[in-house]
Amino acid sequence: MKAVHLQKFGKPEKAFALVDIDKPKCPREGVLVKVEGFGLNFADIMARTGLYPDCPPLPAVLGYDVVGIVEEVGQGVKHFKVGQRVTALTRFGGYAEYAVCDPRAIAVVDDMPIGKAMALTTQYSTAWQCFYNSFRIGHGDKVLIHAAMGGVGSALAQMALHEGAEVYATAGSDEKIQALKRLGVHHAINYRKEDFFEVIKKKGVHLDVVFDSIGGSSVKKGCKLLGAGGSMVLYGAAQFNGSNLFKKISTFLQFGFYHPINFMSKSQSMIGVNMLRLADYKAEKIQACLKGVVKGVQEGWLDPLVGGVYPIEDLAKAHNDLGQRKTTGKLTVTW
């Protein structure tokens, strides 16, 4: 079968090579999917640039999510049938014509458009875990979402709006701010023009939840905006992206230092989310997230943003577009 190897770190034009490798065998407890397309994730950019600690040794086949048709079902798997069209999480191995998937990380999507179906596994499931499985957000709660026009961010915004929260959201361009307003976000802040901390502080608002994928000073400022009972949910650290060692250390320090007693006395919490760790140790949680997001799309209150569907020949362009933050929504590469 054809697959894409990450053969060296660097620019996508040179980092990737299209290769022929053996088709994987379907394990007893697995499902083999014939891949129609695979998704791109921010982690792929970090892996390609050598910044991703979970990246396997090179040459590696990246890829966390695929959409395709079930080709074979392991003897120990009960709930899937050959021929079903599914969206699935892969633990690497997605940039290939066939991928082995864990049945607990697969959902049937029937004829859902590939771009939308692709967004459900990594981005929407991560958002679901952050939003629904950590605490309860109610009507009128004040929620801040960073990078809110990104894949996870826009999913979080849709969930917060659905639950009746008052949504503050940041993004890095006027186009994204307009898109956030169209989505129904109440307070959209272009962080390149205004400091979100000053804007929210000036309003005298105490936040109930902050969703942060930026890291560094953004987390420290977000914590200062939390009211009693508030939570900081940290699920990414984009600030580390592309920075040199000095900047990395500085970002690390800018997070701030926290003592548990402060959380207790303010009745606050800090919650970390890492879907890979959950997939390793609590895979049934991934299944619950997938069920939730598929239902949300079927009911019509979740509507994944599609950033682009690229043919395999344009993989480098897709990587560049994502890396240069030109896109909003999920990117898919098709075979």
Ligand X SMILES: NC(=O)c1ccc[n+]([C@@H]2O[C@H](COP(=O)([O-])OP(=O)(O)OC[C@H]3O[C@@H](n4cnc5c(N)ncnc54)[C@H](OP(=O)(O)O)[C@@H]3O)[C@@H](O)[C@H]2O)c1
Among 49, 84, 87, 213, contact with ligand X (rule: CB under 6 A): 213
- Which of the 8 DSSP states describes residue 318? H
b/e 78-105 (16+ beta carbons within 10 angstroms → b): eebeeebbbbbbbbbbbbbbbbbbbbbb
Contacts of 57 (CB under 8 A, 6+ apart): none
Q: Contacts with ligand X in 281-300 (CB under 6 A)?
A: none
Site string for ligand X, 27-46 (x = CB under 6 A): --------------xxx---
Residue 97 CB, nearest approach to ligand X (Å): 24
Name the segment binding ligand X (CB under 6 A); options: 23-31, 73-81, 98-106, 273-281.
273-281
Taking the least distance from each CB to ligand X, the nearer of 7 and 173 is 173
How many of the chain's residues bind ligand X (CB under 6 A)? 28
According to DSSP, the residues that pair with 60 across neighbouring strands are: 6
Residue 138 CB, nearest approach to ligand X (Å): 24
Among 62, 235, 319, 333, contact with ligand X (rule: CB under 6 A): 235
Contacts of 181-187 with CB under 8 Å at 24 or more apart are 183/154, 183/157, 183/158, 185/148, 185/157, 185/161
Type of residue numbered 291: K
Among 241, 268, 269, 334, contact with ligand X (rule: CB under 6 A): 241
Binding of residue 171 to ligand X (CB under 6 A): yes
Place of tokens 């053969």: 7
DSSP reduced 3-state for 168: strand
Residue 141 CB, nearest approach to ligand X (Å): 22
Q: Counting beta carbons within 10 angstroms of the beta carbon of residue 264, is it exposed (0 to 12), middle (13 to 18) or buried (19 or more)?
A: exposed
Among 238, 297, 302, 333, contact with ligand X (rule: CB under 6 A): 238
Closest residue to ligand X, Cβ-based? 150
Residue 232 CB, nearest approach to ligand X (Å): 14
Binding of residue 274 to ligand X (CB under 6 A): yes
Taking the least distance from each CB to ligand X, the nearer of 86 and 169 is 169
DSSP assignment of 185-252 equals -SEEEETTTS-HHHHHHHTT--EEEEEESS-THHHHHHHHHEEEEEEEEE---GGGTT--HHHHHHHH
Residues that bind ligand X (CB under 6 A): 41-43, 122-123, 126, 147, 149-153, 171-173, 176, 213-214, 235-236, 238-239, 241, 273-275, 322, 325
